[in-house]
């Protein structure tokens, strides 16, 4: 019996040695094949291998901070893994997207235009505080998305330290200023967040939120739908209210005063929504304490790019009150647009003291990301 066990053990050891030798031989052969590949094929293979590492990075964080602030530990590694995958073809980590809106409004997309699944960002809100933080908070920093088109930052919020946004318990939502183009949602989108709370001394500023999660759609439904996603870090919880917009195209909105004049002390907002998610609106511009910025007769919106289904409807609305007096009822109006594959649509908004023309520029998406940079 002992002899049989020794023989089996010896056989197992030999098999293990043979397996190691074979594995080493396979590794050497693989390396040799890579060397023999042409440069383009080597680059493609490296990108594929890098993508696998990039995905696994989101599930593995080798940092003690993982146990106290998982998302912060994850975010710290984003730059390293991004540069290993995309540096060069897509520029530098801190670069903002150079793909502009209205790319194919006045000309057809190369190789034909396509509809895409897109991410509609309605709001980003601070819903919880810890670590001794209390409202009001003076917040600055950045929130951006990264999608598969160019993997660069598509800024949706950005404030410098000398231009903080004050968040209160009653209004803890960030005032968004983007995206600058539609966000593609066929693959998970990275939500990159770097927000700080301003103190009297800059060295004492605290990190409110430091995140880089991959935002995935919770599922595929027959129609576009709304969902919320919360991320809790050491000092705060951020709530993203977003929409998965199916078979959509990009709409860029502009507003111009064509009759009367805009009243400086008016209060209200311009907003956009789709017929599929009409109850939730993208705030294009909120006005009240701050005056509405004008460029001649053009109203400068904080946000102008939204997504809408080709078979759906885009609704642009305005709600305006002449002053802060409660006796002044808000005047509301809206313009409804049927999407086009390219070109522009015109509509009107009337709030009594002025009439405005709304222009919507429509654009499909290129068949291949290679053509998306063509403006």
pLDDT (tens digit per residue) in 178-226: 999 999 997 889 999 999 999 999 999 999 999 999 999 987 777 899 9
CATH superfamily entry for domain 113-371: C2 domain (2.60.40.150)
3-state secondary structure the chain: CHHHHHHHHHHHHHHHHHHHHHHHHHHHHHHHHHHHCCHHHHHHHHHHHHHHHHHHHCCCCCCHHHHCCHHHHHHHCHHHHHHHHHCECCECCCCECCCCCCCCCCCCCCCCEECEEEEEEEEEEEEEECCCCCCCEEEEEEEEEECCCCCCEEEEEEECHHHCEEECCCCCECCCCCCCCCEECCCCEEEEEEEEECCCCHHHCEEEEEECCEECCCCCCCCCEEEEEEEECCCEEEEEEEEEEEEEEEEEEEEEEEEECCCCCCEEEEEEEEHHHCCCCEEEEEECCCCCCEECCEECCCCCEEEEECCCCEEEEEEEECCCCCCCCCEEEEEEECCCCEEEEEEEEECCCEEEEEEEEEECEECCHHHCCCC
pLDDT (tens digit per residue) in 96-153: 999 999 999 999 988 788 999 999 999 999 999 999 999 999 999 999 999 999 999 9
| pTM tops 0.75, yes or no | yes
- Residue ranges per domain, the chain? 1-30, 113-371
């Amino acid at each position: 019996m002992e002899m049989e066990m020794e023989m089996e053990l010896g056989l197992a050891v030999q098999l293990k040695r043979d397996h190691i030798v074979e594995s080493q031989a396979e590794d050497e052969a693989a390396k040799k094949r890579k060397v023999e590949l042409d440069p383009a094929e080597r680059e493609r293979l490296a990108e594929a291998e890098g993508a696998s590492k990039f995905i696994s990075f989101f599930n593995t964080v080798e940092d003690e901070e993982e146990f106290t602030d998982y998302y912060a530990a994850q975010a710290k590694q984003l730059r390293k893994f991004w540069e290993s995958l995309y540096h060069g073809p897509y520029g530098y980590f801190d670069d903002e997207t150079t793909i502009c809106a209205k790319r194919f409004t006045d000309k057809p997309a190369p190789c034909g235009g396509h509809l895409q699944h897109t991410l509609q960002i309605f709001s980003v809100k601070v819903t919880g505080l810890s670590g001794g933080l209390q409202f009001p908070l003076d917040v600055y920093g950045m929130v951006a998305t990264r999608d598969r088109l160019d993997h660069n930052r598509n800024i949706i919020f950005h404030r410098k330290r000398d231009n903080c946004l004050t968040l209160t318990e009653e209004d803890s939502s960030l005032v968004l200023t983007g995206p600058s183009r539609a966000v593609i949602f066929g693959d998970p989108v990275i939500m990159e967040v770097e927000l700080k709370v301003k103190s009297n001394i800059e060295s004492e500023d605290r990190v409110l939120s430091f995140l880089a999660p991959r935002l995935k759609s919770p599922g595929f439904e027959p129609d576009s739908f709304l969902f919320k996603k919360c991320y809790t870090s050491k000092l705060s919880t951020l709530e993203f209210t977003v929409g998965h917009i199916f078979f959509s195209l990009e709409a860029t909105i502009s507003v111009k005063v064509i009759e009367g004049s805009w009243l400086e002390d008016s209060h209200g907002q311009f907003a956009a929504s789709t017929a599929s998610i009409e109850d939730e609106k993208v705030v294009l511009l909120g006005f009240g304490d701050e005056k509405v910025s004008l460029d001649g007769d053009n109203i400068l919106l904080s946000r102008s790019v939204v997504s809408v289904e080709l078979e759906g409807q885009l609704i642009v609305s305005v709600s305006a009150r002449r002053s802060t007096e409660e006796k002044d009822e808000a005047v509301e109006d809206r313009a409804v647009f049927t999407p086009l594959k390219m070109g522009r649509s015109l509509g009107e908004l009337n709030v009594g003291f002025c009439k405005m023309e709304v222009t919507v520029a429509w654009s499909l998406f290129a068949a291949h990301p290679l053509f998306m940079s063509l403006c």
